[in-house]
Structure 1
Amino acid sequence: MRYLLTFLFIAAVATAHAQTVYTLENIIDRAQAQSPAAKRAETLKENLYWQYRSYRSNYNPQLRLSGSAPDYNLDYFSNRLDDGTIVFQSREQINSYVNLGVEQPLKWTGGTISVNSNLSHFKDIQRDLTQYNTTLFNVLLEQPLFGFNSLRWDNRTEPLRFEESKRSYVEEMESISSVAVDRFFAYLSAQINLQIAQFNLANNDTIYKIEQGRYNIGTTSKDKLLQVELQLLRSREDVAEAQLDMETSRLLLRTYIGLSGDESIQLVLPDYIPEFEVKLGEALEYARQNRADYIAFERRKLEAQREVAQARANRFQTNLRASYGSNNASSDVDNLYIDPNNQVRANITFDIPILDWGRNKSRMRTAIANQRLVDYTIAQDEQTFEQEILTQVRQFDVLRTRLEITKKSDEVAQERYTVAQNRYLIGKIDITNLNIAQTEKDDAKRAYISALQAFWSAYFNLRRLTLYDFEANKLLYTHE
């Protein structure tokens, strides 16, 4: 019956309390704005953003102020005299120190260069002795030689990780849309199943009364009357079961979209189906350009290369430390800055294992093996991902065709049931044929709802896989 669904929706609205009507678009918008999953995705996005900001700060100069003021010390210490005798003497001293420096990491070499200025103060209270020492300025270079440069590798991997996180956020929002579609149709199916069950109950009750009247006048048998009564009892059971299913799916939907309170939800069957063509080649190209997975493939390869470079650099350690500046010492602060002395320091430290029983070789071989494993895994992941897109594109065309067929089948089944019902009332067919028409009507309606759900789930899944809106012909993610 053409107006059956509209009638049932109006009847449900009339009996509802504080009821709000939602479309599929309303549910998706609310899920993306209010659902716990959306808030989690937003929080994760913010967390990764600040991680990226922290990484960027590693390359910026830092102004540091450090020191101790004061460091008071009162104790006894051992003092060895010229004749070798050890005596214990008391001391009471105050030390103070302050340093102001600017430090700049060197991205391409992995070292650091800094400019410092410091002032030290020493006072021996017992001897009434005061001394000052200052480094007016000091330029210090600390540079690993042939070492692992984490700054250079971070500069290659961290921007990819940040870009990956931004694309993952858009993908997560599309996944939220897909889940919202499933919850929407689960509740909508439960509503429609309840409406069908209530409609069938009312019809079967009427049919039972008609069949009872026929039995009383002798135009039907006891067997047929009992068959109708059994159908009536089943209809009551179907209504009770449908009510339970609707409450369960209603709770799942409300929980997912973050809806609180006692507000009742009424869903509207989506009658708009977007018309667009999805070409496999275009879908694959959009996926390669936009998906976080393809950024992750590149990042994982770089991280494997990083492990090899780190294992190679850790075979031995050599560091250069060189500084140039001027300093002075005096018992008077005013004299510190008069005719200061040059201060030049340089040293190279090294740590080279002579015999390590194959430890370095094992680390290198392990890193190289892990790199090969990552390459093989990524190659397999790329094939799997492309196969997923291929399957989704082909399924999408099939689902659209299925949707058209089930929609037409629903209309035909509704019309057939109306005809069968009229023929039963005038005695042209028996109750068995009417029940068959009713079952086909109900199954056709459920098949249509199932096809709608499969289509919209595939629609948002395709958007997630490609980060492209084929209906509006626009990217869902744009590089900022």
Structure 2
Amino acid sequence: MKPIITIIFLFILELLSAQGTLPDTLELTALQELASEQALSVWNAEREAELATLDLDILKANLLPRLDLSANIPDYFSSFRETTQPDGTIAFQPVTINNSSVQLTARQQIAATGGQLFLSSNLQRFDDFENDRQNYNGVPLRFGINQPILAFNSLKWRKRVLPALQKETAAQLSTARANAVSDVTTLFFNLLFAQQNREIALDNQEASQRLYDIAGERYELGKINRGDLVQIELELTAAGQNVLRAERSLVAATVSIYNFLGYVYNGGSLAAARPPIPPVISTDRASLIKEMLVARPEFITATRQKLEAQRELERSKRDFGPQLSLQASIGLVRSDPELSPIYADPQNEQIVSLQVNVPILDWGERKAVVRQAETQLQYAERINERNLLSLTARADLLLQQYNELSEELQLTRRISELAEERFGISRESYLLGSIPLTELTLAQQNRDQLARTYLSTLGAYWEVWAELQALTP
């Protein structure tokens, strides 16, 4: 039994691992494109967008004519029923009947008024088998209307709210894709930072090993003291420790990317190709704000919430106010023991019914419900202003950071190049005995730190770039 379970478990793992794989070396743009499709937040936004579209499709279907057929064939009953006799006693009489019916109805909703037009035809047959009798009752044609008056019209509001909801979920999907790109950009640079730290650690370990070998020879010749040799050995040991730490960080960054994309991690670590400077984007504030007002889901959500608040306000007023319900129809009807007269010689039918419902005393319930709806409407109007304020401030900050990082990136690149050149000169000078070990160590630390600073600046530049893109998805 255990081998079978093991085989099944391995098969499931193999199936899961086949669902998604990543190349050994990641390109940022390819990873961003993948994240915009595979991120869990994107899947959730796609589901919401699809549901909103289906809700709108359902509404469109509700506005079209409907045709329904209903039947009750047979409706047979054979039993005994109690019958009260003239003297007050009870007698049980045998009853065997069948009461079948069929009806065909066409309906059309009236969105503007909330009413419904209908056109129907039905036929009913009653059979009394005990007395050998039958009778037909039929309505060859009946046309009418059911019309609420002063009532809440839910269909009218669905026509207003559902398109706004579809637009909102579409904007949320675009924003989810842009946010996924922004998030995976951060994860990519976490991987790139870990990769750089490992490369620096390996380079330092190799350089420390060479220096230690040379220092050992110089110590034997009496050119350096024991303290310098111990210091170099200490740096060699620390370099080995840094390699182990960098490996752990690299694996952790790799796992984070796999988890974000929903892929199964099968061990090892990914490599990241250093990306170029991102494409230049427009930094015109007015254009950015204008696009943001159109594209950001927060503003569309506020519009939808305002519509819903207006809907609930109207609902509360109408549900607690006077209501009338009109039902009217004209048609042809006939009852006869034979079927043919029902359709050959039907009689006219007119039906008119007006129901009135006027609330008299509700102990302030209507007032409280209306006040609730008014409060929600006020909130919906105010939250839109707050969203505009918040996102405008965010846009201003990102634009400032984008412009500053653009200049800083050029400076940090040049500084990193100079630090690398300085370290090379210091290393050669130390090997020639021109400078002490402390100066070489300082040059190495400065080079490593500035290399990290450049990559950090490049990562920040890319992240700000991605966040600006997310403001206008």
TM-score of the alignment, normalized to the shorter chain, above 0.5: yes
Residue type at the aligned position of 1:290? A
After superposition, the Cα gap between the structure-2 partners of 1:337 and 1:350, relative to the gap in structure 1 and judged at 3 Å, is same
Aligned residues: CA RMSD: 2.0
Against the structure 1 CA distance between its residues 226 and 369, is the aligned structure 2 distance closer, same or farther, given a 3 Å change threshold? same
- CA 1:82–1:149: 2 relative to 1, 3 Å: farther
Amino acid corresponding to residue 302 of structure 2 in structure 1: F
- What is aligned with 1:9? none
**Equivalent-residue separation in structure 2 for 1:345 and 1:79 (angstroms):** 34
State whether residues 34 and 257 of structure 1, in contact with CA within 8 Å, keep that contact through their aligned partners in structure 2.
yes
Change (3 A) 1:115 1:173: same
Counterpart residue number, 1:25:
29
**1:285-308 CA deviation, whole Å, 9 max, x = no partner?**
011122222222211111111111
The corresponding residue for 2:116 is 112
Q: 1:426 aligns with which of 424, 432, 436?
A: 432
Q: Which residue of structure 2 aligns with residue 396 of structure 1?
A: 402
Name the SS for the 1:70 alignment partner. coil
* Kept after mapping to 1: 8 A contact 2:121/2:139: yes
> C-alpha distance in 2, partners of 1:387/1:86?
87
The answer to whether the 8 A contact 2:251-2:269 is kept is: no
**Quick one: distance in 2 between partners of 1:277 and 1:374?**
32
Q: Is the 8 A contact 2:299 2:387 kept in 1?
A: no
Q: Which amino acid aligns with 2:286?
A: G
Matches within 5 A, 1:150-165: 150-165=154-169
CA contact (8 A) 2:37 2:177 kept: no
Matching residue of 1:358: 364
Which of 287, 293, 300 is 2:292 aligned to? 287
- Which blocks of at least 5 consecutive residues in structure 2 are unaligned? 1-21
Q: Tell me whether 1:406 sits opposite 2:412 in the alignment.
A: yes
Aligned residue identity for 1:402: E
Q: Could you tell me which residue of structure 1 aligns to residue 242 of structure 2?
A: 238
C-alpha deviation, 1:52, in angstroms: 2.0
The match for 2:342 among 336, 356, 365 is 336
Counterpart CA distance in 2 for 1:360 and 1:82 is: 55
Q: Is the 2:101–2:123 Cα contact (8 Å) retained in structure 1?
A: yes
Alpha-carbon distance in structure 1 between the residues aligned to 2:400 and 2:272: 30
How many angstroms apart in 2 are the aligned matches of 1:262 and 1:132?
80
- Residues 237-283 of structure 1: per-residue CA shift (max 9 Å, x gap): 00001111111111111232344556863321012432343111110
Given the alignment of the two structures, is residue 62 of structure 1 paired with residue 70 of structure 2, yes or no?
no
Aligned match of 2:275? 270
What displacement does 1:174 show? 0.9
Which of 273, 289, 312 is the aligned partner of 1:307? 312
Range with greater deviation from structure 2 (177-186 or 25-34): 25-34
Secondary structure at 1:76 match in 2: strand
Secondary structure of 1:337's match? helix
1:99 equivalent among 81, 103, 117: 103
Matched, 1:296 2:301: yes
2:221 counterpart of 1:217? yes
**Any gaps of 5 or more consecutive residues in structure 1?**
1-17, 468-480
State the alpha-carbon separation in 2 of the partners of residues 103 and 176 from structure 1.
47
- Identify which range, 37-46 or 283-292, moves more after superposition: 37-46
Measure the CA separation in 2 of the matches of 1:24 and 1:319: 64
The alpha-carbon deviation at position 210 of structure 1 amounts to 1.5
Determine helix, strand or coil for the equivalent of 2:361: coil
Q: What is the identity, as a one-letter code, of the residue corresponding to 1:176? A: A
TM-score (normalised: structure 1): 0.89
2:383 is equivalent to residue 380 of structure 1: no
Contact kept, 8 Å, 2:142 with 2:332, in 1: the verdict is yes
Q: Contact (CA 8 Å) 1:124, 1:130: kept in 2 or not? A: yes
How big is each residue's C-alpha offset from its partner over 1:283-337, in whole Å with a ceiling of 9 and x where there is no partner? 0001112222222221111111111100000113321111111111222222220
Q: Which residue of 1 aligns with 2:6?
A: none
Question: Larger deviation: 250-259 or 189-198?
Answer: 250-259
Partner of 1:327, secondary structure, is strand
Return 41-50 or 78-87, whichever deviates more: 78-87
Whole-Å separation in 1 of the counterparts to 2:413 and 2:379: 50
Q: Paired residue for 2:17?
A: none
Q: Using the alignment, how far apart are the partners of 1:31 and 1:457 within structure 2?
A: 15
Closer/same/farther in 2, CA of residues 410 and 291 from structure 1, 3 Å limit: same
**C-alpha distance after superposition, 1:182-202 (max 9, x if no partner):** 121111111111111111000
Deviations 1:337-381 (A, max 9, x none): 011011111111122222221111211122222222322233222
Q: Percent identity?
A: 28
Q: What corresponds to 1:176 in structure 2? A: 180
Letter in 2 for 1:295: I
* Cα 1:217–1:24 shift into 2, 3 Å: same
TM-score by length of 2: 0.90
Shift in CA distance, 292/35, structure 1 to aligned 2, threshold 3 Å: closer
